[in-house]
Structure 1
Amino acid sequence: MSLTFTVDPVVDPALREGIVELWTDVSNAGGAVGFVAPVTQDDIRPEMVKHLVAMAEGRHRLVVGRDADGRVRACAFLALNAHRLMTHWVWAYTVMVDPALQGRGAGRALMEAAADAARSLDGVEAIRLSCRGGLGLEHFYAACGYKEVGRIPDAIRAAPGDDRDEIIMLLPLH
């Protein structure tokens, strides 16, 4: 399935709810996007509001992928780095692909769209992201050109007794 990607789309109720639905589906399928299943859309909405505020303030950018019917099927947020010594890179976070599309190239297309969006920003030379260990996500990101540059053992507590490494990855854009 081919997706059409948009950077900084107009955020209307349909887009907002489409992202909340995607975020809920990804979380409940075991995706590492800030929650541990089971979650409801009501659990996700407060975090979505934080993302929208950051976008409205110009601190974050949104890359969204829609299918032919206009349904949100993938998205990623890019956080601009406000520290004056680190404005040459951005964070990619809350990277999500509809579980029904995983393994079909949608994730790779999303990461390419995010890299293109970052390249369009003045002075941005790299994208950093972190991912939860134990799921093999670092292998996916490596296949997209990212390199592991750090690892913090047991930094993420998915559940009591289930601590995971935080893996930090970098994609140079030049």
Structure 2
Amino acid sequence: MIAKDDAPLFTQFTTPESLPDGLAAALVDCWIEVSDAGGAAGFPFPPVDPAEVSAAVDRIVTGLDPASSRLVVATVDGALAGWLCLRRDTHPLVAHWGTLHHVQTRLGVRGRGIGAGLVRRARAIAREEMDLEQLRLAARGGVGLEEFYGRLGWREIGRWPGALRLAADDDRDEILMVLTSL
């Protein structure tokens, strides 16, 4: 458990070689924990297969590039508390906007502002380092993510009703959100 007075440290990684030993494994552990608890972070059907999660983390890490893909992590006392991916397509038609992916925090640190801190840090990186003008994301409806992102300045720009089928009797909207004032 993390003490309440321990402030998170936010760090970004821009190349595969920049990741410290053990971070990829910590990302896998966090993603499994969040997904198995029902989190909306890319693996919607718990329990998740650790090999699939590990392969997804490998794809994220090997795709890191300062121009197009950044990993932002939050640590507390050296332990991973949360993470997200910030990406952009470098095609000139859409290179002015980026997307957030896999925003997540470990269960034991929720309610401490770490998720909000990650999103704010990604916003600063997008504006100051990647020269982006807007960010987009897609979120699962029905779990309060609209409100979470709304408090951080994001606005809903649309939704696909019933786009996400979590179970035979559980369809959720996919909510499309944008942050235009970076």
Q: TM-score by structure 2 length?
A: 0.87
Sequence identity, in percent? 35
Mapping for residues 27-106 of structure 1, pairs under 5 Å: 27-35=35-43, 36-55=45-64, 59-68=68-77, 70-106=78-114
Aligned length: 173
Task: Confirm or deny that 1:130 pairs with 2:138.
Answer: yes
2:8 to 3, 6, 12: 3
Match for residue 168 of structure 1? Answer: 176
**1:43 deviation in Å?**
3.0
Between stretches 28-37 and 8-17, larger displacement belongs to: 8-17
Q: For residues 111 and 3 of structure 1, what CA distance do their matches in structure 2 show? A: 13
- Equivalent residue letter for 2:154: Y
Contact residue 63 and residue 117 of structure 1 kept, 8 A:
no
Q: CA deviation at 1:162?
A: 2.0
Task: Specify the SS of the correspondent of 1:95.
Answer: strand
Corresponding residue of 1:109: 117
8 Å CA contact 1:87, 1:123 repeated in 2: no
User: Alignment RMSD, CA only?
Assistant: 1.8
Instruction: Give unpaired runs (5+ residues) of structure 2.
Output: 1-5
Q: Give the alignment's TM-score, normalised by structure 1.
A: 0.91
Give the C-alpha shift of residue 88 in structure 1.
1.0
Whole-angstrom CA distance in 2 between matches of 1:32 and 1:52: 20
- Inter-partner Cα distance in structure 2 for 1:56 and 1:86: 17
Q: Separation in 2 of the partners of 1:146 and 1:101?
A: 23
Counterpart code for 1:2: A
Cα separation, 2, equivalents of 1:94 and 1:171: 17
* Contiguous gaps of at least 5 residues in structure 1: none
Alpha-carbon distance, 1:122 to partner: 4.0
Q: In the TM superposition, what whole-angstrom CA distance separates every residue of 1:99-125 from its partner, at most 9, and x where no partner exists? A: 111112111111111111111234301
Are 1:81 and 1:90, in contact at CA under 8 Å, matched by a contact in 2? yes
Tell me the alpha carbon deviations over residues 28-78 of structure 1, each in whole angstroms, 9 at most, x when there is no partner. Answer: 11110111211243231111122122215953111111111x111111101
CA positional deviation for 1:85: 1.4
